[in-house]
Chain A
Amino acid sequence: GESVGLHLPTLSVQEGDNSIINCAYSNSASDYFIWYKQESGKGPQFIIDIRSNMDKRQGQRVTVLLNKTVKHLSLQIAATQPGDSAVYFCAGPTNAGGTSYGKLTFGQGTILTVHP
């Protein structure tokens, strides 16, 4: 079955630094990946997604990079702020075809702590 996991469980940065959170996946047929941010006591909040026909996608202060060769994706946060402190999850489709609907498999999450 699908598995999506993270390399680093915790990341501590200074305010203003750039942050990089990594994620590996196993289903090479997956065509869609999502990053979620979860603050304490809240549900996951959508940040950005990327389709497999893209290598890079940029949002506001965030960039997701996808390397299909090594089945790896990363989330880059520019000029990290204390409000970015949260747990970050990558997720991908669970179904064998890897298509962009249906249930998701989530990684274990990376705890990002931003120090003022």
Chain B
Amino acid sequence: GAGVSQSPSNKVTEKGKDVELRCDPISGHTALYWYRQRLGQGLEFLIYFQGNSAPDKSGLPSDRFSAERTGESVSTLTIQRTQQEDSAVYLCASSYSVGTQYFGPGTRLLVL
């Protein structure tokens, strides 16, 4: 595709439920990033995949958060036992190994 795509665009869930967010990067991009954006705030780094290297998980806020990436394609961010403070926009970006990050439209998560 022409850009980074994410699904779902919106997700409403109940506290305690698990959610999965999906990211399809730009074809050929070896690097993939997940960020979180709370309302009215900047982007907060979560996790970074680069090729076959071990992912940089240093931004994950708790062990309820995890992410996987299949090769150099799709990535899934999973949040287990969601809490209300997890409500945010989750943004995915991809890039060549060295280069500008291009963002998807985000998934808006609301935990009730």
Please measure, in the bound complex, the distance between the C-alpha atom of A102 and the C-alpha atom of B100, giving whole angstroms.
Answer: 10
Size class of the B contact interface (CB-based, 8 Å)? 20 to 34
Chain B residues 23-62 with CB under 8 Å of chain A are 31, 33, 35, 41-45, 48, 50, 56, 59
Report A82-116 CB contacts with B as 1/0, cut-off 8 Å.
Answer: 00000001010010000011111111110000000
Please measure, in the bound complex, the distance between the C-alpha atom of A2 and the C-alpha atom of B54, giving whole angstroms.
Answer: 22
Report A-chain residues with C-beta under 8 Å of the C-beta of B78: none
B42 touches A109 (CB 8 A): yes
Report A-chain residues with C-beta under 8 Å of the C-beta of B95: 101
A64 vs chain B, min Cβ distance (A) = 14
The residue in chain A whose Cβ has the minimal distance to the Cβ of B9 is A41
Report B-chain residues with C-beta under 8 Å of the C-beta of A105: 45
Report A4-41 CB contacts with B as 1/0, cut-off 8 Å.
Answer: 00000000000000000000000000000010100001
Known: A43-B91, A101-B31, A101-B97. A106 touches B103 (CB 8 A): no
A42 close to chain B: CB less than 8 A:
yes
